[in-house]
Chain A
Amino acid sequence: MAELAIAEKAEAFVDYLAAQERKGLLRFLTCGSVDDGKSTLIGRLLYDTKLIFEDQLAALERDSRRHGTTGEDIDLALLVDGLEAEREQGITIDVAYRFFTTDKRKFIVADTPGHEQYTRNMATGASTADVAVLLVDARHGVAVQTRRHAFIASLLGIRHAVLAVNKIDLVDFDQDRFEEIRADFECFAEGLKFDTLVSIPLSARYGHNVLGRSDSMPWYEGPTLVEHLETVQIEDRVGDQPFRMPVQWVNRPDLNFRGFSGTIASGAVHVGDSVASAVSGRTSTVARIVTMDGDLPEAGAGDAVTLTLADEIDVSRGDLLAAADARPDVADQFSAHLVWMSDVPLFPGRPYLIKIGAKSITASVTEIKHKIDVNSFEQLAAKELHLNEIGVVNVSLSAPVAFDPYERNRDTGAFIIIDRQTNATVGAGMIDFALRRATNIHWQALDVDKASRSALKGQKPAILWFTGLSGAGKSTVANLVEKRLHAMGRHTYVLDGDNVRHGLNRDLGFTDADRVENIRRVAEAAKLFVDAGLIVLVSFISPFRAERRMARDLVGADEFLEVFVDTPIDVCRTRDPKGLYAKADAGQIKNFTGVDSAYETPEHAEIRLDTVAATPEQMADEVIAELRTRGLIEV
């Protein structure tokens, strides 16, 4: 009998486990102003849901004595503030992910920082969350930070918000105060895109209305925070959308199998469904949905699967497979909201890498339409975007890609921006809509082309890009080189920094943003001259590597020679042919390269000229010799 009882108990336990396994998953984030008690609230959730083990508690009591801010009580926030620097400063400076579970759901919590300068981390936490829990201090009410966080949550596509009115014990559980804050916030949130908004009076420190109900607030009849999180219905937003799957990896174990592996971003796919590779437009039907657990008749959003197709169509990593009868947008320009995440500002015209789905592609922002003041929601004019700023921009890509508006699909409408030199993630974007201009302006195909134009001149066109500090000797050498080429009967043109600024670039100043645009225009002009078959000598300080690289990428690999006119700043300052260094040192000129604006030394220049060691004539000879070596002019 006893054995039977044990067996039944074991069986019951297996049943219990099966029930645990069927629980759903909810991802939410907590955000709020500094000292609103986010970390304390998460500590409370972990504590109350019994995931805090005895030895963690023992360690906690030790740490509380050293760093704690709650006197003799346990400081629950220390459970979640993981990094040493945070414990010392007493603030949360990075996103932390925490896990707890109740009988109904498993939860992944992103605890995001409140400080203004860490807005990018808040956006990070929000990008994968379904619910935002916004904390306010009952004593202070809705703060500027609360509005900012609500706005970012809404912008990142969160449709369910909870206003957690914390520290309600410190206002004596006052219903009027709670209602006042609730009304204030609801009025503000009308302009945002939340489907549900629930306000809950609670005390994280003492546990009122977190997990269990509070006796101190008989007037409150709504759910506790955990009750609400357990039951809030997250509609299947992506399940109802058309089928989309970015191809991550082409699965080719042998010649007989060619599958496309990826995670289904939206919709469902069945064997026999007609699908298209969105950019090429080629279609086929789904032959198999392959998994290690056996083939499936259908698969849905979120499933990581491998599809095989009935036809051999060209599909590779980065392509988007889509329902053939409901295809995504395909364009090389779109409008998007951008959150900037780097200390180095965003400059329109500068080339970046963007990653969208499984596709990485070169792109640049062509225009900042406006930035948004996240405190007042005013639209402000901007020439650049700084760390933690949000802007509405136009993005231009080096080739068309497939996407959906972010509003409809978080997976196929989101992208990150990567700096091509540092490889840092510098921005996050949400696509609003495709710009149709791309399809309207076709490159005019002309019968006389670059090759025929340059053949007529008996030369190969190229850009000689002279870069270096002001006073380095760029124009002097470029002038000599052009004279020699001219004497040889070569067709040339010089684009000089000062000259171009009198006309084409008259409207630009010397801020970093304007310098980027200055170089972009000159590079495009040089490209047109190369197309005309000319040897173009560009003489520009061009201080940033990114723009020199952009210029290089505009023409063929053998058509661009970077000439680094290498003169130490002290020598330039001594020469000071135009008296500019004297003015810059006196503070009369702002943003002067080498004085209060950076010059990024070329790393892989084709030609480096040491102006201290050689005369201008010798250096011009050096350049001509290099042109011969490279076959750009005949020997």
Chain B
Amino acid sequence: MSIDRQSHLKRLEDESIHIMREVAAEFHNPVMLYSIGKDSSVMLHLAMKAFYPSKPPFPLMHVDTTWKFREMIAFRDETARRLGLELITWTNAEGKAAGVNPFDHGSSYYTHVMKTEALKQALTHYGFDAAFGGARRDEEKSRAKERVFSFRTETHAWDPKNQRPELWRLYNARIHKGESIRVFPLSNWTELDIWQYILAEEIPIVPLYFAAKRPVVERDGMLIMKDDDRLVLKDGETVQERLVRFRTLGCYPLTGALESDAATLPEIVREMLIARTSERSGRLIDHDESASMEKKKREGYF
């Protein structure tokens, strides 16, 4: 099964491929940020299409907080091997040495150190001048106004008031040394588009998206999976086997499961269409403050 050549998915696919080819042609040292989630899976699949029969002319990079689900890491390594792509992994060594973790340091500080800072370290270390991210404009309000080619200063900062106008398909890729561009080829996709495309193109995704019996703990109104022994139970908490799945994937202590029996892609899509909670509410980090995404993005978060 593949997508209808006249459909809106085909148009979105074409647009994403166009964007990726511009980056490959205009930048010296691009990288694709690979977060292992469904959006990254779609982005990677599009990259394989964009350069076929060549391989994508850039490596994948995963910023590993050391708190990802084990199944994600296994899937990541298997994907890179299956596609024959170079995979770079990066962990904030100082943060790790200092023992920064989501339990003791709060999700906001932890995310800043192990994700935002780690990403900036990695980009600087490798001197990447363009970095693909899988963010979509429908995810969040400040994302809705971000460019496809999003300019970052030498310190990786984003200035929402000083964005370059972006017209037609003409992306301005000019930067000075040290500056960089974050590129969002999935800008115009919605969550539903992503799922429909995964279904139509039979793109492999991490099994955590499908419902299964998993050990979870109820904490702060969320179901947190006990993925390893680092999750220490608090008083009154018990581990229960429940039929759950994940709508988004991230660090397991910060990612809420939802109770579901959707075990196939059509069931997931159907569940999504009648869902009454939007996507990012499964992630603790956005609850911290209003306009938190805009603030994080200014600081260099994807």
Task: Give me the interface of A with B, judged by CB distance under 8 Å.
Answer: 10, 13-14, 17, 20-25, 53-56, 59, 62-63, 79-85, 87, 93-99, 101, 106, 108, 120-121, 123-124, 127-128, 248-249, 251-253, 257, 259, 261-263, 290-293, 302-304, 306, 317, 341, 353, 355-356, 358, 410-411, 414-416, 418, 423-425, 428
Asked if A53 meets B52 with Cβ closer than 8 Å, knowing A17-B199, A415-B170, A423-B174, the reply is: no
B165 and A53: CB pair below 8 A?
A: no
A120 and B144: CB pair below 8 A?
A: no
Asked if A63 meets B290 with Cβ closer than 8 Å, knowing A261-B21, A263-B18, the reply is: yes
What's the Cα separation between A22 and B55 when bound, in Å? Answer: 30
Asked if A306 meets B277 with Cβ closer than 8 Å, knowing A85-B161, A94-B160, A249-B25, the reply is: no
Asked if A53 meets B276 with Cβ closer than 8 Å, knowing A14-B266, A21-B4, the reply is: yes
- Output the residue of B5, B137, B141 with the most chain A CB within 10 A: B141
Asked if A99 meets B190 with Cβ closer than 8 Å, knowing A106-B8, A263-B18, A306-B52, the reply is: yes
Q: Which residues of A are found within 8 Å of B281, using beta-carbon distances? A: 55
What's the Cα separation between A79 and B277 when bound, in Å? Answer: 16
B8 and A24: CB pair below 8 A?
A: yes
Flag the segment in B9-17, B114-122, B224-232 that touches A.
B9-17
Q: Which residues of B are found within 8 Å of A259, using beta-carbon distances? A: 53
B164 and A425: CB pair below 8 A?
A: yes
**Across the two chains, which residue of chain B brings its CB closest to A111?**
B144
Return the contact of A54 from the options B52, B196, B264, B277 (Cβ within 8 A). Answer: B277
Q: How far is the CB of B184 from chain A (nearest CB, A)?
A: 11
Return the contact of B145 from the options A23, A56, A94, A261 (Cβ within 8 A). Answer: A94
B53 and A127: CB pair below 8 A?
A: no
Q: Which residues of A are found within 8 Å of B166, using beta-carbon distances? A: 124, 425
Return the contact of A82 from the options B167, B169, B294 (Cβ within 8 A). Answer: B294
Is residue B73 contacting chain A, with contact meaning CB distance below 8 A? no
> In which size bucket is the chain B interface?
35 or more
Asked if A304 meets B13 with Cβ closer than 8 Å, knowing A14-B266, A25-B8, A53-B276, the reply is: yes
Q: Which residues of B are found within 8 Å of A317, using beta-carbon distances? A: 25
B169 and A25: CB pair below 8 A?
A: no
**A-B CB proximity, top 9 nearest:** A82-B141, A25-B8, A53-B278, A423-B174, A292-B52, A304-B17, A127-B167, A253-B54, A304-B14
**Across the two chains, which residue of chain A brings its CB closest to B193?**
A106
Q: List 27 A-B contacts (CB under 8 A).
A: A21-B4, A21-B8, A21-B196, A59-B290, A63-B290, A79-B141, A83-B161, A85-B161, A99-B137, A99-B138, A99-B190, A106-B193, A124-B165, A124-B166, A124-B167, A249-B25, A253-B53, A253-B54, A261-B50, A291-B52, A303-B10, A358-B25, A414-B167, A416-B172, A423-B175, A424-B164, A425-B165
Is residue B66 contacting chain A, with contact meaning CB distance below 8 A? no
What's the Cα separation between A17 and B266 when bound, in Å? Answer: 8
A257 and B145: CB pair below 8 A?
A: no
- Output the residue of A84, A95, A249, A252 with the most chain B CB within 10 A: A249
What's the Cα separation between A83 and B51 when bound, in Å? Answer: 35
Return the contact of A80 from the options B24, B141, B163 (Cβ within 8 A). Answer: B141
Is residue B258 contacting chain A, with contact meaning CB distance below 8 A? no
Q: Which residues of A are found within 8 Å of B24, using beta-carbon distances? A: 249
List 5 additional contacts besides A24-B6, A249-B51, A425-B172; criterion CB under 8 Å. A10-B266, A23-B7, A59-B290, A83-B161, A418-B172
Q: Which residues of A are found within 8 Å of B138, using beta-carbon distances? A: 98-99
Flag the segment in B102-110, B235-243, B267-275 that touches A.
B267-275
Asked if A302 meets B11 with Cβ closer than 8 Å, knowing A55-B278, A82-B145, A263-B18, the reply is: yes
What's the Cα separation between A291 and B168 when bound, in Å? Answer: 24
Return the contact of A414 from the options B161, B170, B290 (Cβ within 8 A). Answer: B170
Q: How far is the CB of A342 from chain B (nearest CB, A)?
A: 9
Return the contact of B137 from the options A97, A263, A291, A424 (Cβ within 8 A). Answer: A97
Q: A-facing mask of B4-41, CB < 8 A → 1, else 0?
A: 11111111111001100110110000000000000000
B3 and A21: CB pair below 8 A?
A: yes
Q: A-facing mask of B149-182, CB < 8 A → 1, else 0?
A: 0000000000011011111111010111000000
- Output the residue of A123, A263, A317 with the most chain B CB within 10 A: A263
Q: Which residues of B are found within 8 Å of A123, using beta-carbon distances? A: 165, 167
Is residue B68 contacting chain A, with contact meaning CB distance below 8 A? no
Q: How far is the CB of A304 from chain B (nearest CB, A)?
A: 4
Q: How far is the CB of A458 from chain B (nearest CB, A)?
A: 41
Is residue B79 contacting chain A, with contact meaning CB distance below 8 A? no
What's the Cα separation between A408 and B267 when bound, in Å? Answer: 45
B3 and A249: CB pair below 8 A?
A: no
**Across the two chains, which residue of chain A brings its CB closest to B57?**
A249
Q: How far is the CB of A550 from chain B (nearest CB, A)?
A: 18
A416 and B141: CB pair below 8 A?
A: no
What's the Cα separation between A303 and B10 when bound, in Å? Answer: 8
**Across the two chains, which residue of chain B brings its CB closest to A264?**
B14
A128 and B168: CB pair below 8 A?
A: yes
**Across the two chains, which residue of chain A brings its CB closest to B25?**
A249
Q: How far is the CB of A127 from chain B (nearest CB, A)?
A: 4
- Output the residue of B21, B25, B164 with the most chain A CB within 10 A: B21
What's the Cα separation between A447 and B25 when bound, in Å? Answer: 41
Q: Which residues of A are found within 8 Å of B51, using beta-carbon distances? A: 249, 251, 261
Q: Which residues of B are found within 8 Å of A93, using beta-carbon distances? A: 161
Is residue B291 contacting chain A, with contact meaning CB distance below 8 A? yes
What's the Cα separation between A627 and B201 when bound, in Å? Answer: 66
A21 and B164: CB pair below 8 A?
A: no
Q: Which residues of B are found within 8 Å of A263, using beta-carbon distances? A: 14, 17-18, 169
What's the Cα separation between A291 and B25 when bound, in Å? Answer: 19
What's the Cα separation between A87 and B142 when bound, in Å? Answer: 11
Q: Which residues of A are found within 8 Å of B260, using beta-carbon distances? A: none
B277 and A53: CB pair below 8 A?
A: yes
Q: How far is the CB of A92 from chain B (nearest CB, A)?
A: 9
Return the contact of A248 from the options B22, B48, B52, B267 (Cβ within 8 A). Answer: B22
